[in-house]
A and B are shown apart, each in its own frame.
Chain A
């Protein structure tokens, strides 16, 4: 049961082979056993989840089930869920009980899914290793000395360790794809504007995008069907016809043009990762795809541009955490300024404060044009590179991350090294394109490698087709870590 696809689980639930309560309890038991070591979840509310499961069982019994009814899904702790503590990985919100539901949560509730718990994450989604969480590091289930990636590290760990049927993540610069790659699972960040940001705690508003994390492309399609859709409460939510992301899963790939950007295979890419990605490309050739050599000349600038724009937006987005209306307030202070400065200094972790400072600096008087405006101009150049590339190919492929999961603490002291681990994922967010990562084997240290697939705007169904056909032909995504009680 624990290794079944969402489709299989849904069938089993609808056929009455298992109840949602039983399935939920099964995962809760696994969480109780494994979470103390892995730390994938920060909040579990077993009774609330089981109540939801009971309601799902009623729907199932009444023949009113939808594809995800009764399925336990882990929610990244960045989504406000009414009555649930919602921390965003921060001491600032350690005791914050969300008074409303994010759009994503509403969508899952309406689909009859069970909220299994809130997953650990880098504080305010700022990090690539999950080490910036106030609630402790998450372990990579493949090797507990390794990071799970970030910021959706808890979600990736939970999916890989079979502590949920599927999970949600968010991706501002690679936060779904990179942990998916490092934990050997599948994850997709859809086109910006496809999933409503309402109730998703903001990091960098113009880049943040939610998406599903699961074990296969097929599962991702079902999840995306639930998560996407127009929401009038988010001004950047796009009004589009509802689509079935599973509709193209079984299309043959003959004639598919795959673009390989030179820049993604240059210096800085680990040999073992390159090996796995090249093997995957080989597999695609066997499936009838043709390979096109492309260039994304400005992609080298994606990291610097991102580290101007994302902190700038974040510095402003995080100003609301001032200890006045909710959240952390310092225990001791004199005047108002001291209350602000101490509450924020004590409530935020080091990485968050660092990014607030970068952002404040680049927006401040005299620097705006040289940093912020310049970065926005290069952002356009980066987006144009992709436009040009998609004239030559249907999808772009490359590594998700330059290396397999690094060791816990390995990059802790060097923010620049940490930032460079997102070198292949960031450009996609800047352009607003959809991107995904699927398992493509294992590196020399036995840790997973991810293949990144980038599509044109709104090409999610095509990308899922491309990923699904690969997963039919290979079994990388079916591997499970040792020591997870299976």
Chain B
């Protein structure tokens, strides 16, 4: 594949901005009472408004507006007290009215920001944070779908999707690599699912990305951009951007010019190509939709919506660092999706509700400031749990081990009942067969020995049997300490409490 052989000329700067179409998770359409359920038989959810019968009129769905407000609040954006719906006029078979109702001059969500964590793709570069500016987000209706190839020379039109509410989220051209663009898209994807406004199903088209790409000489004027349309996977986004950037650089270096264009990504070939049908210069003739009145959002409504927002990923991440002493990177991984964060918190506090809001973080039972358990839990989630999920191709919410099971096991590690090594076995058993930690520990006899008398007896025996090594150790060969630990562990069948064993060994070896 071409993207793997990229040689990026250092004298070029890449400029990327994204427009993301998120389908809002309402039950009914944005301007009518037709269902938005995915996958229905063609046109069975195309009501009179969806097929634009003569005389029908749009009425705005409150649920769609609520979700837009939620998003705006989540990215710290200005929520327009008054916004306006406009008509974007063009002819296309999947656009039954001949215009799309959208927002133009006055969108519902104004400028905001999204902090992303970028993991560079190559070399030894370290992950870094970046703040991407969001220009605006506006409400609009989705178009229908064209189905090709049913009959020779004909296209079939399914209008079930027409009128599904969309929030189009437009970023500033703040990203300067495919990695940043993908990190932005992933963070946004996580956020819209996190706040429950979009199901994020990319195969079903619930989250679609258009990527504007241009290149320029550092400090030079912005280059002409080409827009890669409708990317529905992060992997394709990565490949498409890499290819497009290289193509633009090659074109310019060979003396060519970039023309503004809409391009499609061919996933099979790994290339981009300009669309044929959209080359005609567009003149959308936007004007305020006379069928809809200005949308007013009161402070009161805004605050009501704010009260329904869960603790946001960024706030949660900061809290994990501050209260649990996690590293920023680990906290970032735990808050990359709502499911992981919920799992983490549920494992920490098994009897508690998984949705703990920010304000509740000071409750006495929560957090265990500086506690070992949170760190331990984080390590397990990031390590063993995610490795198993990856191996089995499962999502967090499909984990066969519940947060309660994991939490129960972690407790036994913390109170010294089992060693880390034993814990791995407990975990593997829970994953494969179920059951709670205590019964597995019991059944497999994994309880570690914490009786100091028993450990002392073992240590005494070892010292007696290895007088020569003891002498070497006492004459300064510190490294032999490990040798004694190994022997003691072996003698206890791996069940000796390591911390206790260490203490006792040190004391006795010191003579």
Q: Which residues does A use to contact B, with CB under 8 Å?
A: 79-80, 86, 88, 93, 96, 98-100, 102, 197-202, 204-206, 232-236, 312-313, 315-316, 318-320, 322, 324-326, 336, 340, 360, 363-365, 368, 372
With A and B bound together, what is the CA distance between A109 and B48 in angstroms? 21
Q: Is the CB of A99 within 8 A of B48?
A: yes
Q: Is the CB of A86 within 8 A of B57?
A: no
> Which residues from chain B contact A320 at a C-beta distance below 8 Å?
52, 54, 96-98
With A and B bound together, what is the CA distance between A167 and B89 in angstroms? 35
A233-B52 CB under 8 A given contacts A205-B291, A316-B285, A364-B285: no
> Which residues from chain A contact B59 at a C-beta distance below 8 Å?
232-235
Per a CB cutoff under 8 Å, which of A96, A233, A235, A312 touches B293? Answer: A235
Q: Is the CB of A316 within 8 A of B56?
A: no
Per a CB cutoff under 8 Å, which of B54, B60, B99, B286 touches A235? Answer: B60
Q: Which residues does B use to contact A, with CB under 8 Å?
A: 48, 51-60, 87, 89, 91, 93, 96-99, 155, 157, 283, 285-287, 290-293
Per a CB cutoff under 8 Å, which of A96, A100, A235 touches B57? Answer: A235
> Which residues from chain A contact B56 at a C-beta distance below 8 Å?
198-199
Minimum CB–CB distance for A118 against chain B, Å: 14
A316-B287 CB under 8 A given contacts A197-B57, A235-B57: yes
Q: Is the CB of B55 within 8 A of A201?
A: yes
Minimum CB–CB distance for A201 against chain B, Å: 4
Q: Which residue of A lies closest to B50 (CB)?
A: A325
Q: Is the CB of B290 within 8 A of A80?
A: no
Q: Which residue of A lies closest to B99 (CB)?
A: A316
> Which residues from chain A contact B286 at a C-beta distance below 8 Å?
363, 368
Q: Which residue of B lies closest to A326 (CB)?
A: B53
> Which residues from chain B contact A236 at a C-beta distance below 8 Å?
290-291, 293
Q: Is the CB of A96 within 8 A of B54?
A: yes
With A and B bound together, what is the CA distance between A322 and B94 in angstroms? 11
Q: Is the CB of A340 within 8 A of B287?
A: no
Q: Is the CB of B48 within 8 A of A368?
A: no
Q: Which residue of A lies closest to B55 (CB)?
A: A199
> Which residues from chain A contact B57 at a C-beta distance below 8 Å?
197-198, 233-235
A100-B53 CB under 8 A given contacts A316-B98, A319-B98: yes
Q: List 26 A-B contacts (CB under 8 A).
A: A80-B54, A80-B55, A93-B54, A102-B55, A198-B55, A198-B56, A200-B55, A201-B54, A202-B291, A205-B291, A232-B59, A233-B57, A235-B58, A235-B59, A236-B291, A236-B293, A312-B287, A315-B285, A319-B89, A320-B97, A322-B91, A322-B93, A324-B157, A360-B285, A365-B283, A372-B287
Q: Is the CB of A368 within 8 A of B99?
A: no
> Which residues from chain A contact B155 at a C-beta distance below 8 Å?
336
A340-B55 CB under 8 A given contacts A236-B291, A316-B99, A364-B283: no
With A and B bound together, what is the CA distance between A239 and B291 in angstroms? 16
Minimum CB–CB distance for A225 against chain B, Å: 23
- Specify the main secondary structure of chain B where it touches its partner: loop
With A and B bound together, what is the CA distance between A235 and B155 in angstroms? 34
> Which residues from chain B contact A100 at a C-beta distance below 8 Å?
48, 53
Minimum CB–CB distance for A318 against chain B, Å: 8
Q: Is the CB of B91 within 8 A of A316?
A: no
Given known contacts A232-B59, A234-B57, A365-B285, what 14 new A-B pairs fall within 8 Å (CB)? A80-B53, A96-B54, A198-B55, A202-B54, A202-B291, A206-B290, A235-B58, A236-B290, A313-B290, A315-B285, A316-B87, A319-B89, A320-B98, A363-B286
> Which residues from chain B contact A235 at a C-beta distance below 8 Å?
57-60, 291-293
With A and B bound together, what is the CA distance between A313 and B291 in angstroms? 10
With A and B bound together, what is the CA distance between A235 and B53 in angstroms? 17
> Which residues from chain B contact A80 at a C-beta distance below 8 Å?
53-55
A88-B91 CB under 8 A given contacts A235-B292, A316-B98, A325-B96: no
With A and B bound together, what is the CA distance between A365 and B281 in angstroms? 11
> Which residues from chain A contact B157 at a C-beta distance below 8 Å?
324
With A and B bound together, what is the CA distance between A315 and B286 in angstroms? 12
> Which residues from chain B contact A88 at a C-beta distance below 8 Å?
54
Q: Which residue of B lies closest to A363 (CB)?
A: B285
With A and B bound together, what is the CA distance between A324 and B53 in angstroms? 11
Minimum CB–CB distance for A17 against chain B, Å: 38
With A and B bound together, what is the CA distance between A312 and B287 in angstroms? 9
> Which residues from chain B contact A326 at a C-beta distance below 8 Å?
51, 53-54
With A and B bound together, what is the CA distance between A79 and B96 in angstroms? 20
Q: Which of A233, A326, A360 counts the most B-chain CB atoms under 10 A from its CB?
A: A233
Ranked 7 nearest A-B pairs via Cβ: A319-B98, A363-B285, A206-B290, A205-B290, A199-B55, A320-B52, A201-B54
With A and B bound together, what is the CA distance between A313 and B290 in angstroms? 8
With A and B bound together, what is the CA distance between A58 and B290 in angstroms? 42
With A and B bound together, what is the CA distance between A236 and B157 in angstroms? 31
> Which residues from chain A contact B58 at a C-beta distance below 8 Å?
235
> Which residues from chain B contact A201 at a C-beta distance below 8 Å?
54-55
> Which residues from chain B contact A363 at a C-beta distance below 8 Å?
89, 285-287
Q: Which of A232, A234, A319, A360 counts the most B-chain CB atoms under 10 A from its CB?
A: A319
Q: Which residue of B lies closest to A335 (CB)?
A: B153
Q: Which residue of A lies closest to B93 (CB)?
A: A324
A319-B99 CB under 8 A given contacts A206-B290, A363-B287, A364-B285: yes
A340-B51 CB under 8 A given contacts A197-B57, A236-B293: no
Per a CB cutoff under 8 Å, which of B54, B93, B287 touches A336? Answer: B93
Q: Is the CB of B53 within 8 A of A99?
A: yes
Minimum CB–CB distance for B29 against chain A, Å: 14
> Which residues from chain A contact B293 at a C-beta distance below 8 Å?
235-236
Minimum CB–CB distance for B182 against chain A, Å: 35
Q: Which residue of B lies closest to A373 (CB)?
A: B287
With A and B bound together, what is the CA distance between A235 and B98 in angstroms? 20
A202-B91 CB under 8 A given contacts A236-B293, A364-B283: no
Q: Which residue of B lies closest to A372 (CB)?
A: B287
Q: Which residue of B lies closest to A93 (CB)?
A: B54
> Which residues from chain B contact A324 at a C-beta distance below 8 Å?
93, 96, 157
With A and B bound together, what is the CA distance between A326 and B97 in angstroms? 12
With A and B bound together, what is the CA distance between A100 and B49 in angstroms? 12
Q: Is the CB of A202 within 8 A of B55?
A: yes
Q: Is the CB of B52 within 8 A of A325?
A: yes
With A and B bound together, what is the CA distance between A218 and B301 in angstroms? 46
With A and B bound together, what is the CA distance between A198 and B97 in angstroms? 16
Per a CB cutoff under 8 Å, which of A204, A319, A340, A360 touches B97? Answer: A319
Q: Which of A102, A204, A316 counts the most B-chain CB atoms under 10 A from its CB?
A: A316
> Which residues from chain A contact B54 at a C-beta distance below 8 Å?
80, 86, 88, 93, 96, 98, 201-202, 320, 326
Q: Which residue of B lies closest to A359 (CB)?
A: B285
Q: Which residue of B lies closest to A313 (CB)?
A: B290
> Which residues from chain B contact A372 at a C-beta distance below 8 Å?
287
> Which residues from chain B contact A86 at a C-beta distance below 8 Å?
54
Q: Which of B54, B60, B157 counts the most A-chain CB atoms under 10 A from its CB?
A: B54
With A and B bound together, what is the CA distance between A312 and B52 in angstroms? 19
> Which residues from chain B contact A93 at a C-beta distance below 8 Å?
54
> Which residues from chain A contact B91 at a C-beta distance below 8 Å?
319, 322, 340
With A and B bound together, what is the CA distance between A485 and B352 in angstroms? 87
Q: Which residue of A lies closest to B159 (CB)?
A: A325
Minimum CB–CB distance for B318 against chain A, Å: 43
Q: Which residue of A lies closest to B43 (CB)?
A: A325
> Which residues from chain B contact A313 at a C-beta distance below 8 Å?
287, 290
With A and B bound together, what is the CA distance between A313 and B86 in angstroms? 12
With A and B bound together, what is the CA distance between A325 and B156 in angstroms? 11
Per a CB cutoff under 8 Å, which of A99, A234, A316 touches B89? Answer: A316
> Which residues from chain A contact B48 at a C-beta distance below 8 Å?
99-100
Minimum CB–CB distance for B400 against chain A, Å: 49
Q: Which residue of A lies closest to B281 (CB)?
A: A365
With A and B bound together, what is the CA distance between A182 and B93 in angstroms? 43
> Which residues from chain A contact B87 at a C-beta distance below 8 Å?
316
Minimum CB–CB distance for A97 against chain B, Å: 11
Q: Is the CB of A325 within 8 A of B51?
A: yes
> Which residues from chain A contact B93 at a C-beta distance below 8 Å?
322, 324, 336
Minimum CB–CB distance for B238 against chain A, Å: 34
Minimum CB–CB distance for B247 against chain A, Å: 29
With A and B bound together, what is the CA distance between A236 and B59 in angstroms? 9
